[in-house]
Amino acid sequence: MKVEDIYAISPNKDGWRALKNGTRVKLGNEVKLGNWVKLGNRVELGDGVELGDRVELGDGVKLGNEVKLGNWVKLGDRVELGDGVKLGNEVKLGDRVELGNWVELGDGVELGDRVELGNRVELGDGVTSNQLNNMFIQSFPDESIFWKWVTPDRMSPNFDGGTPLHYGKGAIIETSDAIASDQQCAPGLHVLRPPYRPEWVGLCNFDHNLICLHVKVCREDICFGGIPTMDAKIRVRKLEVLD
């Protein structure tokens, strides 16, 4: 895709430009695109965005103002980057990754699908979200007490779908298909790190009638222990209901 192709057709009243291949993009003021840039459908670039050579943007990608991407960066579908984000060379972001404002990622950073980093997070060169998850897991003691929020009849609220489970006192609940990964929402049992409540992390409204149970989890059974700014909701393969 050549830069002159992008500017061949003026934007419509909503700001979208139609490219020669039928793709529609929205570009802010003073955008700079390097050689061999590939834009997916309905990509939106804010003011002052700078893209290095051979950048590939997936469908529905949204970049905030003053975002700067290094060479060979690859962004999955529906990635959203806040204002002032800077990505080093050869960064790879999975589908639906969301980065807050002024995040800086070093060269060769790799983040898996649906990873979310808050504002002003800085990661050095070569960091991966799987490495970060393992670091968080190893920071827990041999046994941890987490909170499991359930309905008044002690059933799982199924925020993420799946089969409802009953959390009786003293029960040991285990799922066989949970594996360790950088994916917060994947097969497994989801618990919250105290003192987090479900409405604080966007799982439900504040006026819910859920009750809090204390559950014990061994470190070896933690599959997702967190990454920076994404460490309230923990995914485990096995737990024991204490009360």
234, β-bridge pairs:
191
145, β-bridge pairs:
216
Per-residue pLDDT of the chain (243 residues; tens, 9 = 90+): 444 444 444 566 666 666 655 566 766 777 777 666 777 777 888 888 877 777 778 888 888 888 888 888 888 888 999 999 999 989 999 999 999 999 999 999 999 999 999 999 999 999 999 999 999 999 999 999 999 999 999 999 988 777 889 999 999 999 999 999 999 999 999 999 999 999 999 999 999 999 999 999 999 999 999 999 999 999 999 999 999
Do 74 and 153 sit in the same domain of this protein?
no
Instruction: Provide the token pair at 34.
Output: 């390097």
Q: What angle do CA 7, 11, 15 make, to 5 degrees?
A: 125
Do 115 and 9 sit in the same domain of this protein?
yes
Do 33 and 122 sit in the same domain of this protein?
yes
Do 9 and 96 sit in the same domain of this protein?
yes
Do 123 and 64 sit in the same domain of this protein?
yes
Do 72 and 149 sit in the same domain of this protein?
no
Instruction: Provide the token pair at 72.
Output: 């060979």
Look up the CATH number of the domain holding residue 56.
Answer: 2.160.10.10
Q: Which residues of 207-231 are buried (b: 16+ CB within 10 A; e: fewer)?
A: eeebeebebebbeebbbbbbbbebb
3-state secondary structure of 182: coil
Given 95, 127, 159, which residue is the final one in a domain? 127
Do 165 and 100 sit in the same domain of this protein?
no
Q: How far apart are CA 7 and CA 83, in angstroms?
A: 23
Range of the domain at 43: 3-127
